């Protein structure tokens, strides 16, 4: 059976390294936002400045074959 997006977010949410990223903001932290590669970009535009992206070194990206960056800012 294929996991739904919500199942994947539950499964991998704690492994997302977004909260350690230099581009991550207090705004996103206060709203418990992360795992943007599954959830889509920040719905409240909390992250607006590219200060580096840790997605390429994230274990979730490896597990799910996600090979892009800045999921928090763009629906790539």
Distance CA 11, CA 73 (A): 23
The mark string for 34-63 relative to ligand SF4 (x by CB under 6 A, - otherwise) is xxxx---------x-----xxx--x-xx--
Among 9, 11, 17, 27, binds ligand SF4 (CB under 6 A): 17
Tokens representing 59 are 């274990």
Tell me how long the chain is. 76
Are 27 and 46 a contacting pair, CB within 8 Å? yes
Binding positions for ligand SF4, rule: CB under 6 A = 16-18, 21, 23-24, 34-37, 47, 53-55, 58, 60-61, 66, 69-72
């Amino acid at each position: 059976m294929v996991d739904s997006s919500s199942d994947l977010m539950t499964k991998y949410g704690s492994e997302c390294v977004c909260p350690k990223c230099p581009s991550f903001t207090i705004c996103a932290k206060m709203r418990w936002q992360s795992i943007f590669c599954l959830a889509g970009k920040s719905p409240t535009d909390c992250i607006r400045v590219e200060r580096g992206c840790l997605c390429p070194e994230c274990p979730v990206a490896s597990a799910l074959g996600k090979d892009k960056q800045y999921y928090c800012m763009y629906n790539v």
